[in-house]
Structure 1
């Protein structure tokens, strides 16, 4: 009885693995070894693939395909020089073998020589009978050098050869999106869908483009077609839910997200969105229930911890908000969004030292928004840390050199530190930038108010383009 190809491969694999467990040595033809190696590579069993390659070459030392597998192993382990030497030996014998050019291109790509890799792949494309894999590799090389037009072209060629190659389709849409060609992406997908009207992936991608363009009704229709094409397509339900949220149809969005919970294990994203929808509908207990489920499902999802913290913050339950943001920080102490909330909550609780620590950590983690610098400065003032506040503002000024809010704060601080020349310098800068922000000094440094009196700076001949009615630069009345 003749074995089918699959049965034959299974038999060869079982025979090979049986041989590894004994001291027996069995003979395999080179094609059997190739199938065994390919199986192990596809299943990520690299050590077994290497062992099969070694044994294969011992039995068939002249097999080019087995030598090419050996090259692939060396490339995988980043032994590029060794792989290149072996390829050069194979090239002398087989200059028309496309796999030689593909592996040479692989080495060039690993060395970031993508243009050279492209030329080698073009050579491989000209001699191969199976162009799909080479076209895909060319598309990837163009992606590496951010030539999205050429990348798009080659992935389109892939899809022409195999309209079920959804990896190529995703890459095509990625290129369209990077180039912000959303209408062109829709036109391309419509052509694709005319040929493949039941492609759930095609409808899903059309919907995403309409969603980006804020054409939510069209997006919703596309996601409906995706669900009709495959009623277990979780991605389509999730995108449909997001679209329904944008349309303010929160209960329908909840129903959509809930379907995904029954199709597979619950996702933290779906649980989070259900919670958000319930909160929008005023179902606060249910919202809180789903936020808790979200963080239980995925403790690393920062959006979950942020949602539950913000929920309590909006309810003005600052102690509960602080409790949850503390838990989040214990899980990920490098998350700047956590520290910003930690600082904000402590500030509301008048715990200024903790609030200052939170804003300082946010700055250390790269959050250089102007408000972060300004609020930290104001807290340092509350703590009487005037010099630290000055240092903080000088750092802020490096990022925001033309900020009147920074300049007026510096003016007030230098008044406080009894350095009138520096105070006058920053006061003038602030007035030149925007005199309306003199309110900063009124609110933060009320000790320097003197009633209603106009003032001039050092140059008495220069009239001031502002109504600075509450301060006098020269005759400061220090209410200390």
Structure 2
């Protein structure tokens, strides 16, 4: 690839400057060359070299406004705002129509959280600038700082009207639309943008994301296809396309797209995990397990990988292996209620009731308030003969499910087991009122209670009502 004359001159200036630093010979550069050299080092994060270049530049061009503005930029970068402001005021007295002065003043205001004042200064800069896109972009950023997403969106749209190729403005426009929950409006805007700039892979990718967000998966795939046609190494577009194929249950095509992401870059644990899930849904258990294992090999700290293997073995009813892998996941995230529920369920299947009880208890402790979790936990406590604990757990559950017949029947049964007939009848009455036909729960869970004539009579009496 041939370099343009400008690029050649730029590279020559840089190598000439670095050669000067090594030999200590003082060479002459014009002020624009110095500006480019200084800004290059700032962009590279080499502040010391930028300062050295600025010092030499000001010695050679002490009256250059451009260099003094670069000096202001460096002072702002170093948070020396008062010095920067003083220098800007001096420059303003000389060149009151220089837009860069207003931009830098706005930058200082922004640093001081004076965003409205920054916008005013940038509006003034618009009167003098030739680079409208840059100023509109800066105005948009100030509105973002103020959480005024509607005005930010308008500014980024104006920026793109001036410069269709400004990718950061394009991302920011979409961000504003999404934040404002205006997905359909964003789709309309991007379609108009693409009419003007049909070879923007970023626009096609963002359009695909938006279609995916509103569950228009076919349209999403079409947009991602265009993005990957324009840039056949667009990893993000291939990844998003794979997810859309998954949603449509087109698992072979999803695998193709995930595979492409692995060809383009190092295998990501996410892509490997999704490929495993796709193979499992296609019924290819061997390949599913292969990719799940590759997932945890690639990222041993990815708990979702260990959980995928856990769920795989649960479906195979291989609870011994499932228990091994769920413990791996819990070693990474031991506050995940879903993992604890899996741990409890697996242990219950293996008749390890004390471990299962512990698992359900931890699941609830970490925020699981699903009815079945409470009921599984209580039934195990009852099986272990811990009636008092079971009652306390049910009373806790009744705070979440105050009108749940399954809770009331269990409370009735447990109170009868403890011969607290008054409380037992109270809860049995509630249960029969809520769902009379479910009284067979007593027969299933509390056969000793069910056999009592008093209980049979109570149910029969309730039936007559």
Is 2:151 the counterpart of 1:150?
Answer: yes
Q: How does 1:185-334 map to 2 (within 5 A)?
A: 185-334=186-335
Alignment of 1:379-458 (within 5 A): 379-431=380-432, 433-435=434-436, 438-449=439-450, 450=452, 453=456, 455=458
Bigger Cα displacement from structure 2, 163-172 vs 86-95:
86-95
More helix by share: 2
Instruction: Provide the C-alpha distance between the structure 1 equivalents of 2:383 and 2:53, rounded to a whole number of angstroms.
Output: 71
Instruction: Give the drift of 1:15.
Output: 4.9
- Offset of 1:318 from its aligned partner? 0.8
Structure 1: any 5+ residue segments left out of the alignment?
Answer: 75-82, 109-115, 458-462, 470-480
For residue 226 of structure 1, give the secondary structure of its aligned residue in structure 2.
helix
- 1:104 aligned residue: 109
Per mean C-alpha deviation after superposition, the further-off stretch among 369-378 and 51-60 is 51-60
Relative to structure 1, the CA distance from residue 356 to residue 44 in structure 2 (aligned partners, 3 Å threshold; closer, same or farther) is farther
* SS of match in other structure, 2:458: coil
Distance in 2, Cα, partners of 1:403 & 1:15: 83
Give how far 1:84 is off.
Answer: 5.3
In the TM superposition, what whole-angstrom CA distance separates every residue of 1:289-339 from its partner, at most 9, and x where no partner exists?
A: 111111111223333222211111101011111111222222333444332
SS at match of 1:350: coil
Confirm or deny: 8 A CA contact 2:275 2:291 kept in the other structure: yes
What is the deviation of 1:441? 4.0
Gaps of 5+ in 2: 1-5, 93-100
Taking a change above 3 Å as real, the CA distance of residues 97 and 218 of structure 1, as seen in their structure-2 partners, is closer
Per-residue CA shift, 1:68-123, capped at 9, x if unaligned?
Answer: 4233233xxxxxxxx55446545654665321222321331xxxxxxx42442343
CA deviation string 1:400-456 (max 9, x = no partner): 444443344334333334444444444455455554554544433333214684538
How far did residue 221 of structure 1 move?
A: 2.2
Tell me how far apart the structure 1 counterparts of residues 151 and 369 of structure 2 sit (CA, whole Å).
37
Question: Residues 456, 442 of structure 1: CA spacing in aligned structure 2 closer, same or farther, 3 A cutoff?
Answer: closer
Distance in structure 1 (CA, Å) of the matches to 2:356 and 2:54: 63
The 1:67–1:146 alpha-carbon spacing in structure 2 relative to 1, beyond 3 Å, is closer
How many equivalent pairs are there? 441
Distance 1:53 1:243, change over 3 A: same
Summarize the Cα distance change of 1:263–1:411 in structure 2 as closer, same or farther, 3 Å threshold: same
Larger deviation: 229-238 or 215-224? 215-224
Residue by residue over 1:215-246, the C-alpha shift from the partner in whole angstroms, topping out at 9 and shown as x without a partner, is 33333322222222111212222222223333
Report the secondary structure of 1:455's partner residue: helix
Cα separation, partners in 2 of 1:353 and 1:70, compared to 1, 3 Å: farther
| Per-residue CA distance 1:48-70 (angstroms, 9 max, x = gap) | 47975997899789945424423
2:11 equivalent among 6, 31, 41: 6
Going from structure 1 to structure 2, the CA distance change for 1:89 and 1:244 (only over 3 Å counts) comes to: same
The answer on whether the counterparts of 2:310 and 2:322 sit within 8 Å (CA) in structure 1 is yes
Q: 3-state DSSP class of the match of 1:391?
A: helix
Moved more, 424-433 or 165-174: 424-433
